[in-house]
Amino acid sequence: MLEILYRDKYYIAINKPSGLLVHRSPIDRHETRFAIQMLRDQIGQYVYPLHRLDKPTSGVLFFALDKESANLASEQFKNHSIEKTYLAVVRGYTDNEGVIDYPLKEKLDKIADKDSRIDKEAQEAVTFYKTLAKAELDFAVGRYDKVRYSLVELKPKTGRKHQIRRHMKHISHHLLGDTKYGRGEHNKLIRAEFDCHRMLLHASELKLFHPYLKKQIRIKAGLDEIFSRVCKDFSL
């Protein structure tokens, strides 16, 4: 059963588990479980996805319950007036706060995006971050006797593909557990020593204007057991 965070007659939000696809994808042909279908089966009603989360990312996932409500809310996602907040554990000690303003080239998948242009210019991409906690652990990785990690809060102001993951890589604070943009030696460490087999990125909050209630709503999603345990083990 999916955890339902919010529901009214127009919209519904769930806490998507890490490892669950939002919808069927040609890139993951072997997958048989999808958030859209699971939620439809759970509530016995058609749902309209308004945004996506990467498969390894957990957290708030928002749907409309009818086409008109989907159209009304989708404009906010298109013009980036939705406020999204994420939590992540990254390698190294991050600055207390910062802004990553670094344009990103569009990431294309060979299968899903085979008809898309490959010569597009890099698009504007901005992410704000704030450090919540730091930890130093007695594990040797590479040429270092100890490892340092940070728990960060991130607020992307644009919605580029894999934006947070690519932005944190750009400033050399790779996400732990990220097998695409992360560092293999740190991913191996958290798997072996902390039994963590997921990427440590979580969509913790979504804030948007409800077009029917005429007010802002805030939807929060708690961390799962693995993410919480890693933070506790790291003393973050």
Instruction: Mark 201-229 as b/e (b = at least 16 C-beta within 10 Å).
Output: bbbbbbebebeeeeeeeebbbebbebbee
Lowest mean per-residue pLDDT among 47-56, 92-101, 107-116, 152-161? 107-116
- Check residue 124 and report its DSSP letter: P
pLDDT in tens, 208-222: 999 999 999 999 999
Quick one: pLDDT band at residue 199, thresholds 50, 70, 90? very high
- The phi, psi pair for 133, rounded to 5°, reads -165, 160
Say if residues 132 and 153 touch (Cβ distance below 8 Å).
yes
Is 224 a residue of the active site? no
Q: Residue 83, Cβ neighbours under 10 Å: how many?
A: 15
pLDDT in tens, 126-163: 999 999 999 999 999 988 999 999 999 999 999 999 99
Say if residues 197 and 204 touch (Cβ distance below 8 Å).
no
For residue 120, the model assigns a pLDDT of 75
> Rounded distance, CA 57 to CA 164, Å?
11
Say if residues 217 and 6 touch (Cβ distance below 8 Å).
yes
Please, what are the domains in the chain?
3-233 (3.30.2350.10)
For residue 29, the model assigns a pLDDT of 67
Q: To the nearest whole percent, how much of the chain has pLDDT over 90? A: 86
Residue 21 CB-density burial (10 A; 0-12 exposed, 13-18 middle, 19+ buried):
buried
> Rounded distance, CA 197 to CA 189, Å?
10
For residue 26, the model assigns a pLDDT of 67
Q: Which entry of 8, 28, 41, 54 is annotated as an active-site residue?
A: 54
For residue 121, the model assigns a pLDDT of 86
pLDDT in tens, 29-65: 677 789 999 999 999 999 999 999 999 999 999 999 9
Phi-psi region at 22: left, alpha or beta (left = phi > 0; alpha = psi -120 to 50): alpha
